[in-house]
């Protein structure tokens, strides 16, 4: 079976390509390399022995996208990762985010419809929940006003898909990620933020390896055990495996609705200081960090109710926080030695 992975040279995309290939799927990747590089495909083939087919173009180009689908009518499913995802950048450049994330999705949907591609897995996000009133947050928790244009593009995307499915035979599973961290055990693929990392874990490992002088911890005056915000950190490989399961759920006809939504988290909330402590334990490094003022747009605490995904998908995140931070550190050391 042939699966299109958009954004397949990116962080979660590349790890999903590996899991798909190892389950016997043929994979074709589309990526515009705006936030990743093509060498990732060579590293994927070092892990799996297969270099995925690859086309480099921008999915906001409608004709190019429709032409791709007409040339690849044997595609069974699409896993759509390609999107901009930096929360802070989206506040500074909202139109760039709405145009890129929404137009590329609509072109994908149009291409699927024209060529009768039946299944879509959509990369969504826990940011659709904003700051939940109740925790843990479940798939039926209220969707709140997004904290950022990025989060809003995910909310609007889910609505676009819902309306589109009313008019087509496409089936979709939307996966709402919590905080993906860590790297493949081979240390051949991992998170490769271009420039200064927005996210916590790459900033930690880059500080420890000496690329950054000090980690700033954005606020310790939250209503949490140690005052720092709580997130549900999940290993990127656990996350990738869920995407293969989602495709299989639809190809086996086990999906129960045209659009199904699942939270992908561990169900455990951890504070920023707990992540730092885990990193220091597994790496043996003392991390240089300082507490500063809060970052605008941060929610105080969010973690997933994973019972629905556990029960319906038969999937459960397996890796511990220490395994996640150790894999991130091994990856950082591997790229430093390249
Ligand atoms: C985590 C915690 C920060 C950096 C991310 C993605 C978003 C979505 C959800 C997929 C927060 C703190 C961070 C730093 C810090 N993923 N922090 N110092 O904001 O939860 O959102 O996951 O859709 O796209 O951005 O993740 O890693 O930026 O922050 O103290 O230098 O770490 O305040 O509490 P976030 P993050």
85-102 pLDDT, tens digit each: 988 889 899 999 999 999
The CA distance from 262 to 151, in Å, is 16
List the residue whose alpha carbon is closest to atom 13 of ligand 1.
200
Check residue 7 and give its pLDDT.
Answer: 98
Residues 6+ apart with CB under 8 A from 149: 90, 91, 94, 97, 98
Q: Which one from 25, 97, 150, 177 is the annotated catalytic residue?
A: 150
150 labelled catalytic:
yes
CA distances from 313 to 125, 162, 277 (A): 18, 20, 32
Domain boundaries for CATH 3.90.25.10 within the chain: 200-231+267-302+319-336
| 3 state SS for 163-178 | HHHCCCCCEEEEEEEC
**How many Å lie between the centroid of ligand 1 and the Cα of residue 299?**
9
Reading phi first (left if > 0) and then psi (alpha if -120 to 50, else beta), residue 6 is in beta
Which of 182, 198, 201, 235 maximizes ligand 1 atoms within 8 Å of its Cβ, making it the mutation to test the pocket? 198
Task: Report pTM.
Answer: 0.97
| Number of other CB atoms surrounding residue 37 within 10 Å | 12
Give the homologous superfamily in CATH for domain 200-231+267-302+319-336: UDP-galactose 4-epimerase, domain 1 (3.90.25.10)
Residue 230 CA: nearest ligand 1 atom is 34
Q: Which residue CA neighbors atom 22 of ligand 1 most closely?
A: 179
Tell the residue nearest (CA) to atom 10 of ligand 1.
Answer: 125
Give residue 114 CA to ligand 1 midpoint distance, Å: 38
My answer on whether omega of the bond before 136 falls inside 30° of 0, hence cis, is yes
Q: Residue 262: what pLDDT?
A: 98
Q: What is the pLDDT of residue 213?
A: 97
Q: State in Å: Cα 199 to ligand 1 middle.
A: 5
**Closest atom of ligand 1 to CA, residue 228:** 34
Q: Which CATH class is domain 2-182+232-264?
A: alpha beta
What is the Cβ-side half-sphere exposure of residue 222, based on CA atoms within 13 angstroms? 26
List ligand 1's pocket residues with C-beta within 6 A: 85, 87, 125-127, 177, 179, 198-200, 203, 215-218, 229, 231, 272, 295, 298
How many angstroms separate the alpha carbon of residue 201 from the centre of ligand 1? 9
Closest-CA residue, ligand 1 atom 4, reads 200
Residues of the chain short of pLDDT 50, as ranges, are none
Q: What is the pairing mode between strands 270-271 and 230-231?
A: antiparallel
Q: DSSP labels for 235-293? A: EHHHHHHHHHHHHHHHHTT---SSEEEEEES-S--EEHHHHHHHHHHHH-PPP-EEEEP
Q: Where does the chain hold its CATH 3.40.50.720 domain(s)? A: 2-182+232-264
- Residue located via tokens 């992540």: 275
- Measured from the CA of 123, which atom of ligand 1 is nearest? 23
207, 233, 295, 325, best to mutate for ligand 1 pocket (most atoms within 8 Å of CB): 295
Query: Which atom of ligand 1 lies nearest, measured to the CA of 302?
Result: 20
pLDDT at 8: 98
223 CA distance to ligand 1 centroid (A)?
A: 17
Q: Cα-flanking dihedrals φ and ψ of residue 3, to 5°?
A: -120, 135
């Amino acid at each position: 079976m042939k699966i299109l992975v958009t954004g397949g040279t990116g962080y979660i995309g590349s790890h999903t390509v590996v899991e798909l290939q190892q389950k016997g799927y043929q994979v074709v990747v589309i990526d515009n390399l705006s936030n990743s590089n093509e060498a990732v495909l060579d590293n994927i083939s070092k892990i799996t022995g297969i270099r995925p087919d690859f086309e480099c173009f921008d999915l906001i180009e409608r004709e190019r996208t429709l032409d791709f689908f007409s040339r690849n009518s044997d595609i069974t499913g699409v896993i759509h990762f390609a999107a901009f995802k930096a929360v802070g950048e989206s506040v500074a450049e909202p139109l760039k985010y709405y145009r890129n994330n929404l137009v590329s999705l609509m072109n994908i949907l149009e291409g699927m419809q024209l060529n009768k591609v039946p299944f879509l897995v959509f990369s969504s996000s826990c940011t659709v929940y904003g700051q939940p009133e109740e925790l843990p947050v479940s798939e039926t928790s209220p969707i709140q006003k997004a904290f950022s244009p990025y989060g809003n593009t995910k909310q609007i995307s889910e609505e676009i898909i819902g309306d589109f499915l009313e008019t087509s035979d496409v089936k979709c599973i939307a996966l709402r990620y919590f905080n993906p961290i860590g790297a493949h055990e081979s240390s051949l693929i991992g998170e490769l933020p271009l420039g200064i990392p927005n996210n916590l874990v790459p900033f930690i490992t880059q500080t420890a390896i000496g690329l950054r002088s000090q980690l700033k911890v954005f606020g310790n005056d939250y209503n949490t055990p140690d005052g720092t915000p709580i997130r549900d950190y999940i290993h990127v490989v656990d996350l990738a495996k869920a995407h293969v399961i989602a495709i299989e759920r639809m190809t086996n006809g086990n999906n129960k609705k045209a659009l199904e939504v699942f939270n992908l988290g561990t169900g455990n909330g951890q504070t920023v200081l707990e992540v730092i402590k885990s990193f220091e334990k597994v790496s043996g490094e003392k991390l240089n960090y300082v507490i500063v003022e809060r970052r605008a747009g941060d929610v105080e605490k969010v973690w997933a109710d994973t019972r629905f995904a556990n029960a319906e998908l038969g999937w459960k995140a397996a890796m511990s926080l220490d395994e996640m931070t150790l894999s991130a550190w091994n990856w950082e050391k591997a790229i430093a030695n390249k």
